[in-house]
A and B are shown apart, each in its own frame.
Chain A
Amino acid sequence: MPTPEQLAIDRRAPLRVSVWQVRWRRFTDFTRRYARNRMAVIGLLIVLTWVVVGLFAPWIAPYGYDKTNYNAANQPPSFAHPLGTDALGRDQFSRMIWAARTALIVAPTATVVGVVLGVFFGLLAGYFGGWIDEIVMRLSDVLFAFPGLLFALLLAATLQPRLAAWLSQFERIKPWVRAGYVEFFVVVIALSLVGWPGLARLVRGQVLSLREQQFVEAARALGVSPWRIMWQHIFPNALPPVIVALSMSMGSAVVAEASLSFLGIGITPPTPSWGAMIYNEFASWRSPSAPWLLWAPGLAVAALTFAFNFIGDGLNEALNPQDRLT
């Protein structure tokens, strides 16, 4: 009978893998898992399509968004005007395309404020705990209590006129003020101000569990500074839910923009917005009745929101492999 030493054969190949190979592998794994969710892929395509449409609006749209033509007012859909024209003879199809710009400028900017605040305070509260945690959590209690839209209205009614007056001094910003962007951003930033506690709690929960993990303890034992631990060790691991939340809140920001424009707060004519287009049609539907003007911008908003929600789902599955089977 041979001894173990005689029979021992080293079948293990030396393991030499570069960091980039690992990263590439992780990336392809991620895309593969993401691509499994067909709706998520469709969602991504929808968003990309709208981004392209928004970016190239001047070339894609047959007419300018504020090009009026009183000889061709209130026309039904035709070859020249696929969605007809409104009372001022503006081409509705072109306005739809230009409105994509508005939606896609506004949604990310609106989301960023909330996400930055949420991640920052979440990390802070979760990592340091103690009285910092207590303060952040109590602050979030206070903000949670404010009814979002109503708080936004309050801010819009109180701060916005002053801000707008102040900004109007600057010639370059004036057109933006007139287009209603200032009013809109006040409202949206108000929404983010009361919206970040949700994300902060999510991040905090993540951090609380990550903080106890061995790799963080190891880093601490090596004397790595708290901020570095937070950014290099904890933040990347707490990122997946943040990314998912980001995608979902993009969707709600698109809806928020359209809702507010629908209500006449925010983007003001002639700057095109899907919400305002729906409102125009809704307000006057008894007489001319052009239901496609209800459907077209409505479906545009809905499609974009679906897309962000599906992307969120897809990201969730791709980033949390353990949830895959459910």
Chain B
Amino acid sequence: MTAYLVRRLLWMPFLLLIVTFLTFVLGYYGPGDPAQLLLGQHSNPEAVERLRHELGLDRPLLVQFADYVWRALHGDFGESLTMARGRPVSDLLKRSLSITLQLNAVVLVVSLLVGVPLGVFAALKRNTWLDYLTMTGVVVAISLPTFLIAPILLWLFAYKWRLLPPGGWNGIFSRNIILPVIVMSAGPIAVFARQTRANLIDVLSQEYIRTAYAKGLHERRIFFVHALRNALIPLLTILGLMLGSLVVGSFITETIFGIPGVGRLAFQAFFSRDYPVIMALVLLIAIGYALANLLVDILYAFVDPRIRYQ
């Protein structure tokens, strides 16, 4: 196990470097000339050439890449081209990233707190109408697209009944966060509930559970000590995989509810073709995701003795 983790750790810098390189190449070859963009379509070719030199754009790709990595390591992701011309990208990112992270943390906590008990409940009542009802609700929740629930909830709660604010950001303890969190949690709650139920039912049919019954243990003890732990371990993997989709999933929600997070920034950058911003975003999220999954693997070793001693 230790060997495996060491290998993962050694691989990590390469992984991040490859991710960065791919992103950089796309940004480099993709869009056309940033200098041209800055100066406008009909500017003086000589001026463009001068600016290219100033920006270091006339150097070889690898040199530029090394330069980009070097600066990125120091927290410098270049300057915004179009959205807020000349402003450091890191400035734009800082606030939006923190908002998105806060939002996602709340969503994760809410979906675990609701999803896991829901799955346990369904597993306990398995094959009764309560189970069917819960699980049908879960499939509905998985299938309902964000862009459908969000407008409907907004329309009902914010415009028709005027119970909740329609959006904006006021920190995680404000009423503004309620609707976005409901919208964003629906899917993850469903995934957790479904997985918890499936794992539990699987675990409950295992032979060691029969052994526990044969020992005369209380049903409650069998459930909570012998079954639940085994059933929850695989959720860690899902948690790791979900981190990525969660952050990306928040893009649409942020756009609809006008939350100034990474998602909204990404779309604004996309529509105004602000490549340095998009690149920095892709990079940061990829790195965050890779690190989070490494963390999940390490955590795994702590909760599952089978892995710890391999």
Contacts and interface: CB of A to CB of B under 8 A. Distances in A.
Verify whether A and B have any Cβ pair under 8 Å. Answer: yes
Contact of A259 (B140, B147, B273): B147
Interface string B141-165: 0111111100110010001000000
A305 B143 contact: yes
Contacts of B244: 144-145, 147-148
Contact of A326 (B152, B155, B201): B201
A309 B270 contact: no
A291 B252 contact: no
A145 B290 contact: yes
Given A259-B252, A301-B148, A305-B143, A147 B30 contact: no
Given A146-B19, A294-B151, A259 B146 contact: yes
A278 B147 contact: yes
Given A153-B270, A262-B252, A158 B26 contact: yes
A56 interface: no
A21 B4 CA distance: 50
B296 interface: no
- Chain A interface size, as a band, is 35 or more
A155 B26 contact: yes
Interface stretch (A28-36, A237-245, A279-287): A279-287
Nearest to A162: B30
B199 to A, nearest CB: 11
A25 B23 CA distance: 52
A149 B143 contact: no
Nearest to A297: B148
Nearest to B147: A262
Interface in A245-270: 251, 255, 258-259, 262-265
Interface stretch (B68-76, B90-98, B213-221, B279-287): B279-287
A277 to B, nearest CB: 11
B152 A298 contact: yes
A310 to B, nearest CB: 7
Given A145-B289, A154-B23, A294 B155 contact: yes
A156 interface: yes
Interface of A: 138, 141-142, 144-151, 153-159, 161-162, 251, 255, 258-259, 262-265, 275, 278-279, 281-282, 285-286, 291, 294-295, 298-299, 301-302, 305-306, 309-310, 313, 326
